[in-house]
Structure 1
């Protein structure tokens, strides 16, 4: 910055390179500790017991499908429960934005796994919405099944992630999360959290003068996502 130039923007303090490296290494200790804790959490997750599920039937693009067949031959299945509000043109922007990230899921084939969306919306409406917003994931409907409610995503309820394991035709539920627990599956927040100004949401702990706005204010709307990724003639 030129000596005669005075910035009015909120900025981190400017220090010499040695001081910066010292501060970075102090932060790195906490970051590595968090990584090790996440490893320990994952190890505990792998040791969770599981619960056997009934033989549910969902609705897919080609008609009724048993839950065991939603695995498409894989032994492991990740299900995102997409919020659905009857009669609404634009569904939950959080769910729409989160699932729009997943365009290349073939890597899961190497782990004998699949990742799909299940919603309470009727399958025809769900598939039309998928096309409208440019979603690339497989969609299924639980509108005529208790499956959604049984995995903590009832009609009118919130979003969530469940993981299932299949042994033959028997399906087991192994893990569930919702709320901010879903953040670990997104690449957006980890990238944004690296930025000096972070998410810029008013609940976050930031230095005085940092830009902040109401939570969700910077999130794209479902209509915005459709304009970016969707089909003009869904």
Structure 2
């Protein structure tokens, strides 16, 4: 028998209407924040970033594909990874469906990672994805947008992520069979925790105006929650996120030991 509170339909409706008022307020507040995002000042980008794509070498302007706006998902897939970050992969499972809608609303989209293009393409094929994915291997792009850090930065406290500086983190000793969440995710990418966390997830937005690219917005860490489709569904499920550690996998790994 359930231990959760139960009620009559009339009592449920009264409670639901109270919650609805707060949900509406949250929606209005979200609309206000969207306006404030769009009102942020733009920062001109003069550096000539180069990327490798399935269509060859490309500049940042090329990624716009003739559109005036570009959204980039900074996908955690470092040069030493053998597979993409499982969290980024879970988010990316939703990209295929919406890219066509963005592209028909003057917004280009691309995932960008530091791994060489051949690695990205192999993993993309494995996952059955079709969205654009560019390699920034050898470029300053990931470092400049605070989603990639060096071993020295990690060890000496030089990592500034999500607009705050992190404490020094000496390379952790990895234990066989560790159940720590970061170690679990690192293992899914074929790396150790230190290597894994030198890459970080994020979203950045760019505008193209009169031939000039501007950086307009970036978000990191839990600022990406809204992009993670499964969580939007779980937050509306009876038991919510109901998590105990890392439970998600690459979508082709469920059911495997």
* TM-score, reference length from structure 2: 0.75
Paired position in structure 2 for 1:48: 40
Q: Is the 8 A contact 1:58 1:66 kept in 2?
A: yes
Separation in 2, partners of 1:62, 1:20: 56
Report the aligned-residue RMSD.
1.7
1:153-175 per-position Cα deviation (integer Å, ceiling 9, x unaligned): 22532010000001133111100
Report deviation, 1:76.
Answer: 0.4
Q: Specify the SS of the correspondent of 2:104.
A: helix
Q: How far apart, CA to CA, are the structure 2 residues paired with 1:185 and 1:67?
A: 23
Question: How far apart in 1 are the matches of 2:26 and 2:37?
Answer: 16
Is the contact between residue 80 and residue 115 of structure 2 (CA under 8 Å) also seen in structure 1? no
- Counterpart among 136, 145, 167 of residue 142 in structure 1: 136
Unpaired segments ≥5 residues, structure 2: 150-197
What is the correspondence of 1:107-186 to structure 2 with a 5 Å cutoff? 107-154=101-148, 156-186=198-228
| Change over 3 Å in CA distance of 1:221–1:109 after alignment to 2 | closer
**8 Å contact kept, 1:90–1:222:** no
Q: Whole-Å Cα distance in 1 between the matches of residues 235 and 50 of structure 2?
A: 40
Q: Does residue 191 of structure 1 match 2:233?
A: yes
Matched pairs, number: 205
- The structure whose Rg is larger is 1
Structure 1, unaligned stretches of length 5 or more? Answer: 1-6, 202-212, 228-234
Question: 1-side partners of 2:116 and 2:139: how far apart?
Answer: 11
Q: Deviations over 1:85-137 (max 9, x none)?
A: 33433221001111111112211133200111100001111111111222221
| Secondary structure of 1:111 counterpart | coil
Secondary structure, counterpart of 1:152 in structure 2: coil
Matches within 5 A, 1:50-65: 50-53=42-45, 54-65=47-58
Helix, strand or coil for the counterpart of 2:79? coil
Give the drift of 1:223: 4.7
Decide whether the 8 Å contact of 2:71 with 2:205 is kept in 1: yes
Find runs of 4+ consecutive structure 1 residues off by over 2 angstroms: 85-91, 220-223
User: In the TM superposition, what is the alpha-carbon distance from 1:198 to its structure 2 partner?
Assistant: 0.5
